[in-house]
């Protein structure tokens, strides 16, 4: 399943995430810090959704209350809720 997420409170403008059987196949982050975004996308590829959420949730960027990694965790949490609640 491929879905889009609009992050809030960060420089990134859009995330496109592909998940199959609870495993991340691909993540694209548009906007924000290009190198960091590429690194995040490469690191989470092949990881279970639950593990990514556990590792990235709560990460902050400087004085911001959130970060691109935390917003990815939020996107995946939203995905899980939608899958579970139909």
Instruction: State how many domains the chain has.
Output: 1
| pTM score of the predicted model | 0.95
Q: Is the pLDDT of residue 57 over 90?
A: yes
Q: For residue 42, which of 7, 21, 72, 1 has the smallest C-alpha distance?
A: 72
Q: Is the pLDDT of residue 29 over 90?
A: yes
Containing structural domain, residue 22: 2-85
**Contacts by 59-63, CB closer than 8 A, 24 or more apart:** 61/10
Q: For residue 9, which of 49, 77, 69, 52 has the smallest C-alpha distance?
A: 69
Q: What is the CATH number of the domain that holds 49?
A: 3.90.1010
């Amino acid at each position: 399943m491929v879905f889009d997420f609009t992050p809030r409170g960060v420089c990134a403008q859009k995330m496109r995430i592909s998940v199959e059987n609870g495993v991340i196949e691909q993540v694209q982050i548009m906007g924000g810090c290009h190198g960091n975004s590429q690194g995040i996308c490469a690191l989470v590829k092949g990881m279970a959704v639950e593990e990514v959420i556990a590792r990235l949730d709560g990460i902050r960027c400087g004085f911001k209350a959130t970060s691109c990694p935390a917003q990815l965790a939020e996107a995946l949490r939203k995905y899980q809720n939608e899958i579970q609640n139909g």
